[in-house]
Amino acid sequence: MANNGKPKLATTSLAGCFGCHMSILDIDDRILKLVELIEFDKSPVDDIKEFTGQCAIGLLEGGCCNEENVEILRKFRRHCDILISLGDCAIMGGIPAMRNNIPLQECYAEAYLNGPSVYNPAGQIPNDPELPLLLNRVYPCHEVVKIDYHLPGCPPPADTIWEALVALLSDKPVDLPYELVKYD
């Protein structure tokens, strides 16, 4: 794809529900303005799987629950000038982190052996090398790599994402009115 000198934007969903990505898409037709400002690089939005070069901004949804999340997050850190934790799971682990007080062994057992809807007569916990190993707990992104900005919300409203991106790309202070950062 041609670069046209535009800065690149990468996004990913780690241990998230894709809700934050839905919220990105929720900027509606402003996405046309967005692609005038930036070019999407590695992202589920355009389905580019690997970085094509250095990006200006990386948007991170979800925290890290397994080793693959860590690898991707570190790749983002290497390839992006600015990383933004987008939404509560990236910022503090969120719903997935509810397992953090339960020993990992019990989590595996509940999921694959003892859960009420589990049918697993062989009593095996899946062990394909393709399946990433879980971490002992779910980590917020900033505990794994350095994060430059945090946009809270579950998900952050589309307007919040839009305002933050535009401010960042036009090198102006972000102006987030109260309605965009209140959550009750």
Partner 1 sequence: MSENLGAAVREICQACGNNRVRMMDIVRAVQAKFGCVCGEAMDLIAKEVKAHRVEVQSVVSFYSFLSDRPKGKIVIRLCNDVIDQMHGADRVEQAFCEELGIRVGETTADGRITLEHAPCIGMCDQAPAALVNDVVVTQLSADGARELSRELKQHMTPQKLVRTYGDGNNAHELIRAMVHNNLRGPGPIIFGPINRAEALSKALSMSPAEVIRAVKTSRLRGRGGAGFPTGMKWEFTRGAKGERRCVICNADEGEPGTFKDRVILTERPDRVLAGMTIAGYAIGADEGILYLRGEYAYLRPFLEDVLQKRRQDGLLGNNILGKGFDFDIRIQMGAGAYICGEETALISSCEGLRGDPKNRPPFPAQKGYLERPTVVNNVETLCAVTKILEHGPGAFAEHGTSGSSGTKLLSVSGDCSRPGVYEVEFGMSLRDVLRLVGADDAAAVQVGGPSGQMVGPADYDRKIEYDDLATGGSVMVFGPQRNVVEVVDKFLEFFVEESCGYCTPCRVGNVLLKERIEHILAGKGEPTDLEYLQELGETVKTMSRCGLGQTSANPVLTTLKNFRGAYEQLIPGPSNGFQPTFDLAAAVGDAEAVIGRKSEHAHA
List, in sequence order, every residue forming a beta bridge with 80; answer none if it has no partner: 55
Angle at 7 between CA 56 and CA 69, to 5 degrees: 40
Query: Site mask, partner 1, residues 20-59, x = CB under 8 A?
Result: ----------------------------------------
Closest CB to partner 1 among 19 and 93? 93
Output the smallest distance, CB 27 to partner 1, in A.
28
Across 133-170, b (16+ Cβ under 10 Å) vs e yields ebbebbbbbbebbebeebbbbebbbbbbbbbbbbebbe
Helix (H, G, I), strand (E, B) or coil at 25: helix
The answer, yes or no, to whether the previous bond of 103 is cis (omega within 30 of 0) is no
104 binds partner 1 per the rule CB under 8 A: yes
Is residue 24 within 8 Å of 11, Cβ to Cβ?
yes
| Spatial separation of the C-alpha atoms in residues 72 and 76, rounded to whole Å | 6
Query: Site mask, partner 1, residues 135-174, x = CB under 8 A?
Result: xxx-x--xxxxx----------------------------
Please report, as residue ranges, which positions from 70 to 99 form the binding site for partner 1 (by CB under 8 A): 70-71, 74, 77-78
Closest CB to partner 1 among 30 and 142? 142
Residues engaged in binding partner 1 (CB under 8 A): 67-68, 70-71, 74, 77-78, 103-105, 108, 125, 127, 129, 132-137, 139, 142-146
